[in-house]
């Protein structure tokens, strides 16, 4: 199985979230989710959006321990307006990808400086496999 690049993983976070979002309009958010017993669609969507934000917090803060995860675990009562939920999901996915990209660029810059402070960017890119 081929490994996906970092950019492709980031793109898929947004693409897959957008595919899910495309099905929200007109959906019954109280409909049960067969693969998630005792959950409805609204709860599942809230869980996903909460997970995006939870991971973003871990990456942004460089957490050494998992942060409080109430936004991921508390799925009770979430059957919001589909338009609000749609925007909220899009924002969470985009925020996660932006934070991942910023952190990678910071790491990449640090590695390039440590490994090859007197090399051109092209040389460092070739040595690091980017």
Q: Report which secondary-structure segment, H or E, holds 58.
A: helix 41-61
How confident is the prediction along the chain (130 residues), in pLDDT tens digits per residue? 678 888 899 999 999 999 999 999 999 988 999 998 888 888 889 889 888 988 998 889 888 888 777 756 665 545 578 888 898 899 999 999 999 998 876 665 544 444 444 444 444 443 344 3
- Count H helices and E strands in the chain, helices first: 5, 0
* N residues, the chain: 130
Domain ranges of the chain: 6-128
């Amino acid at each position: 199985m081929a490994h996906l690049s970092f950019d492709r993983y980031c793109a898929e976070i947004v693409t897959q979230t957008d595919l899910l979002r495309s099905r929200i309009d007109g959906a019954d958010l109280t409909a049960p989710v067969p693969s998630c017993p005792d959950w409805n669609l609204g709860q599942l969507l809230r869980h996903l959006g909460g997970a995006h934000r939870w991971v973003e917090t871990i990456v942004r803060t460089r957490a050494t321990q998992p942060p409080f995860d109430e936004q991921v675990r508390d799925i009770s009562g979430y059957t919001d307006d589909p338009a609000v939920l749609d925007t909220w999901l899009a924002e969470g996915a985009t925020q996660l990808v932006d934070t991942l990209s910023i952190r990678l660029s910071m790491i990449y810059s640090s590695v390039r400086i440590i490994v090859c402070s007197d090399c051109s960017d092209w040389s460092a890119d070739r040595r690091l496999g980017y």
